Structure 1
Amino acid sequence: MARFVDRLLGLPEETTPAVETARDLRVPMPDGTVLRADLHRPRGAGPLPAVLVRTPYGKAQRPVRYFTGVLARRGFQVVVQDVRGIGGSGGEFRAFHHEREDGLATLKWLRAQPWCDGRVAMAGASYLGFTQWAVAPYADPPLAALGLGVTASEFVGSFYPGGAMALFNTLVWSSSMGTRDERFAPLHARRVRRAMRHLPVGEADLAAIGRPEPFLRDVAAHTEPGNGFWDATDHSAAVAATTAPASMVTGWWDLFLRGQLRDFAALDAAGRGPRITIGPWGHDARALRAVLADQVSWLGAHLHGDAAELRRAPVRLYLQGAGRWLDFDAWPPPGTEPTRLYLSQGLAWEEPTGTDDPATFVYDPFDPTPNIGGPLLAPGKGRQRDNAVMERRGDVAVLTGAPLDRDLDLIGPVSATVHVWTSTGHGDLFVRLCDVDRDGVSRNVTDGIVRIAEPGTVRADVEMHPTGYRFRRGHRLRVVLAGGAFPRFARNPGTGEPIGRAVAMRRTGFEVFRDASRPSALTLPVWRG
């Protein structure tokens, strides 16, 4: 079955069908805790470099076994370890908090084993990628290579994008971790979805899985900026100092895209020579083929001396809407020009000169504006969707431009600067860019949210999801403004009370200004290549 899946995913032929396995090796930590690891290596081989994989999902779980099997069957010596508190590993699992110390201790232990020649690479995706960033900047000597799939050096930005709590992804992941040892865990899915309306948010785990779950409680309790709780889990400041060669895979609809692109840019600016692939997928099985193929080739180049796969451009990306893969030497690509798209009675490329009335809407947390699509941990619900249901509501402002007279390519970071007033002084401004086709169907391309916590008119700077997208000739650009996107983001109660414990809620009125003295606009990365 594994060989069949390998062929289905287009992976290279296996080279080492004879693999021996040693299970539950004891790896002592400095505090006396013992973590457990499995070793997979070519039968009868002498000392070899090792690929370290550290996972919170259980080394015996099928996806983890398949991933390590792909590497082992291609001649790599693989050590897969349950992180603290998972599977047979001792201690308490506290998401993201122990990975630096435990990872470095594991690396020291691994290099001392007689079957390891001292060279160690790391590989994996998502949390397994984070465990790499928790080690790589601090490893001495450096790691031999990094295979970083749909991940980032810090996850905090994905917990609170723009200051709003990412409720859907947080509750889905925390619920799956809280039921990871249960035989019928998938049956919780419907309860989890209903629990997203539970108040206070900090106790939504009780409604979802019937008991407290530490990660959900940590995220809900530390939504206020500057409290320092997550500081030790943020490795972004050390990225530029990382000398291990790094290859990355991400997707335009991946929730960690922004962080991963920042990591790539930091490594590139430091002259580290990273490479990245950005495809038309999200944080899901669609990315699996690219991640596996990329990591097999990258590890082969740096551990087996097979440099053929190194002869490619540093940046390879898929231009959505055009159906084309493009290669570039840098990110953002050369030839990209930041261009302002102004909010007016519709949308305009020219700066406003008049006194247009503000766009107005009222956000009601008792009947929150729904989210449609986007970067979600939900197969079949994320990515690009028809936005008609949302755009017909009375609690959104919809602004549409004229039909395009030529194709418009956007490749790079997207942002918005919006002058906005809120009636309560507390609200979330959600900004979405859509593509309206010739039949009038509006599909989301990118979006972002920012939390407002001051009275009066404010300038809201919204970091939106980067994109690579072609708007076809005859299509129209559309901007949708709202006070939220539920349940992707937790409802803003309009009271200023911390999200984790808020129960009372107030409606919030919005006015978005678009006149000459207070121009609001999106900044789009127009590529003229």
Structure 2
Amino acid sequence: MRTPPLASLLVQRMMKLPPPITRDLIIERDLRVPMRDGTVLLADRWAPRAGGQGLPVALLRGPYGRGGPVAMQLVRPLAERGFQVLLQSTRGSGGSGGEFVPLRNERLDGLDTVEWMCKQPWFGESIVLYGPSYLGFTQWAIADQAPAQVKAMIPAVTETTLGLGFLREEAFSLESAFGWGVLVGMQERSWATARFLLGARRRRRAELTLPLSSADQVALGERSQIIQDFLAHDSQSPHWSGADASEGVEDVEIPASLVAGWFDVFLAGQLRDYARLHAAGRRPRLTVGAWSHSSPGVMSTMLDEALGFGLAHAHGTAPADRTPVRVFVMGAEQWKDLSSWPPPGYAARRLHLRSGGRLTVEPPTTAGTDGYRYDPADPTPAVGGTRMVPGRKAGRVDNTRLEARPDVLTYTSDPLSEDLEIIGEVAAQIWFRSSLPHADVFVRVCDVDPQDRSTNITDGLTGLTTADELSRAEVTLTPTAYLFRRGHRIRVQVSSGAFPQYNRNPGTGEPRHAATRIRVADQQVHHGPEHPSAILVPARTDR
């Protein structure tokens, strides 16, 4: 009797999977897949040793190599449970020919790969597109033109404009953009994953480097064109023209199951992708858990969708029925089925900032001003929340130490007399003035329990360029689903940063990649009848 592979047993236990159909697999390595321009990309085929030919094929395309965690967590579970799997290294990565230029070549290369697959003797007449993050973007890149053999797609923690959301001019996501650039820059080095995790202190120094255009040298010891492009070109720059897949969303007819997380960096874009599919008359699925980008729950849920939703469509049958949208309601700590996103039955409720650090439903009757000093040399830190880089804690954490800082204002409600459920979009309107024209406004909503522990739920940041004039800062926070329990309090934080989740605002107006100086700013938050600063939460209305 053959001993089960240790990797198979570890994955089964880690992902809480039922026993596989088989653990006896064959791996054909370095298959050469020709592209229309003559470039050859490499791929590995995983399949059951017995009966593998003719099974549905799960296609995964990405720049993260074809071994290690990618093979163990993404490929092996599928190949042991009803699929054969083709894992391909995208252009310029993992031994594939050409140069890796993020987002640029995935459409034509993906379509050429599908065409090649359909001609292979082992092909089984059906393909399921699968994978998270960049592997999800490669799905979207071909989805609107994929041939009939593609029966389903399962993009997780990803979106059609992958990465461009990091590059907002008014809120540059330094940690995600820079961290991903460093990760890709290390891919071709030996022990890449270990090097990345062990390089956290060096990345921290790099994120503090001025000018930021030198940060790649600090982190990698060499120039990275990917990082330079991220720093120099914001999301609206012509440089990124044609580098996203958003224009084709309404034309996608492939059944799609989207897996997202409340603390994932791509959440807002993924929800937009779902809404556009739904508006176009499609019937996509959406599952949103209390996950960050690399949470184990993403992997296990994505696999569940592949083995249920994906295999059913691959075999020409209907998957088990469920509601279109399933979300995890934090606070209640339970799943909830919804008919759509955003769901009906929730309306914006204004909670007003008031003097004395109070937060109330009633509007203020007297004017007030609260102030703090923001120093880029000691930037307000990012604590939990929406993070992508491994090794930096994401999601819900204790905010007590953060709220004790002098550069963080807090506004807190009285204990709630009844439960309050919010599901949907969250926004803030903060009347703000700075001593400098250039300043950021960061807003976070927290749940304060009866033991005074403050836990973050959602947040967002916007940048101002005329901050020395009193104006209303419009801040978009990440969507959420949360139940504030009776006896708990709602808290709103206002500050001017969350470093390194967002880059430090130097206060000088210099371009972010070129700034060499920093200036301390004195900030003011105004509230009152003439300047009603408030948070807007989507509160349930049918109680």
User: What is the TM-score of this pair, normalised by structure 1?
Assistant: 0.94
Match of residue 477, structure 1, among 451, 467, 490? 490
Change (3 A) 1:162 1:383: farther
Q: CA deviation at 1:467?
A: 1.0
Q: Mean alpha-carbon deviation: is it higher for 386-395 or for 183-192?
A: 183-192
The whole-number CA distance in structure 2 between the counterparts of 1:523 and 1:88 is 50
- The DSSP-based 3-state class of the residue aligned with 2:313 is helix
Q: Mean alpha-carbon deviation: is it higher for 425-434 or for 164-173?
A: 164-173
Q: CA deviation at 1:440?
A: 1.6
Are the equivalent residues in 2 in contact too, given 1:59–1:65 (CA < 8 A)?
A: no
The whole-number CA distance in structure 1 between the counterparts of 2:279 and 2:97 is 40
Change (3 A) 1:46 1:484: closer
Question: 1:18-57 alignment to 2 at 5 Å?
Answer: 18-42=24-48, 43-44=50-51, 46-57=53-64
Aligned residue in 1 for 2:333: 323
Q: CA deviation at 1:32?
A: 1.9
Please state if 1:237 is matched with 2:250: no
Cα deviation, 1:259-293, whole Å, max 9, x if unaligned, reads 11111111112221111111122112422222222
Aligned residue in 1 for 2:86: 79
Are the equivalent residues in 1 in contact too, given 2:167–2:177 (CA < 8 A)?
A: no
Change (3 A) 1:161 1:448: farther
Change (3 A) 1:336 1:379: farther
Are the equivalent residues in 2 in contact too, given 1:142–1:244 (CA < 8 A)?
A: no
Letter aligned with residue 179 of structure 1? M
Question: 1:339-378 alignment to 2 at 5 Å?
Answer: 339-345=349-355, 346-352=358-364, 354-376=365-387, 377-378=389-390
Q: Percent identity?
A: 42
Match of residue 159, structure 1, among 136, 142, 166? 166
The whole-number CA distance in structure 1 between the counterparts of 2:315 and 2:81 is 10
Cα deviation, 1:420-463, whole Å, max 9, x if unaligned, reads 22222111110111111112221111100011123523332211
- Report the RMSD for the aligned CA atoms in angstroms: 2.1
Structure 2 unaligned runs (5+)?
1-5
Are the equivalent residues in 1 in contact too, given 2:11–2:72 (CA < 8 A)?
A: no
Q: CA deviation at 1:17?
A: 4.2
Aligned residue in 1 for 2:3: none
The whole-number CA distance in structure 1 between the counterparts of 2:410 and 2:284 is 40
Letter aligned with residue 477 of structure 2? M
Match of residue 131, structure 2, among 124, 128, 148? 124
The whole-number CA distance in structure 1 between the counterparts of 2:150 and 2:52 is 22
Letter aligned with residue 55 of structure 1? G
Aligned residue in 2 for 1:194: 205
Cα deviation, 1:459-498, whole Å, max 9, x if unaligned, reads 3221101111111111111111111111111101111111
Aligned residue in 2 for 1:182: 190
User: What is the TM-score of this pair, normalised by structure 2?
Assistant: 0.92
Are the equivalent residues in 1 in contact too, given 2:64–2:70 (CA < 8 A)?
A: no
Question: 1:92-111 alignment to 2 at 5 Å?
Answer: 92-111=99-118
Cα deviation, 1:141-173, whole Å, max 9, x if unaligned, reads 473100111111112454135732211222322
Q: CA deviation at 1:45?
A: 5.1
The whole-number CA distance in structure 2 between the counterparts of 1:306 and 1:74 is 17
Q: CA deviation at 1:57?
A: 0.4
Q: Mean alpha-carbon deviation: is it higher for 46-55 or for 198-207?
A: 46-55
Letter aligned with residue 348 of structure 1? T
Match of residue 275, structure 1, among 285, 292, 295? 285
Aligned residue in 2 for 1:412: 424
Q: Mean alpha-carbon deviation: is it higher for 287-296 or for 364-373?
A: 287-296
Match of residue 385, structure 1, among 382, 388, 397? 397
Are the equivalent residues in 1 in contact too, given 2:373–2:521 (CA < 8 A)?
A: yes
The whole-number CA distance in structure 2 between the counterparts of 1:140 and 1:96 is 21
Question: 1:441-520 alignment to 2 at 5 Å?
Answer: 441-454=453-466, 456-520=469-533
Change (3 A) 1:442 1:161: farther
- The DSSP-based 3-state class of the residue aligned with 2:151 is coil
Q: CA deviation at 1:378?
A: 3.3
The whole-number CA distance in structure 2 between the counterparts of 1:521 and 1:62 is 44
- The DSSP-based 3-state class of the residue aligned with 1:447 is strand
The whole-number CA distance in structure 2 between the counterparts of 1:472 and 1:162 is 37
Structure 1 unaligned runs (5+)?
none
Letter aligned with residue 478 of structure 2? H
Are the equivalent residues in 2 in contact too, given 1:137–1:242 (CA < 8 A)?
A: yes
Change (3 A) 1:46 1:434: closer
Are the equivalent residues in 2 in contact too, given 1:400–1:476 (CA < 8 A)?
A: yes
Are the equivalent residues in 1 in contact too, given 2:328–2:334 (CA < 8 A)?
A: yes
Are the equivalent residues in 1 in contact too, given 2:56–2:311 (CA < 8 A)?
A: no
Change (3 A) 1:442 1:497: same
Aligned residue in 2 for 1:296: 307
- The DSSP-based 3-state class of the residue aligned with 2:445 is strand
Letter aligned with residue 227 of structure 1? S
- The DSSP-based 3-state class of the residue aligned with 1:54 is strand
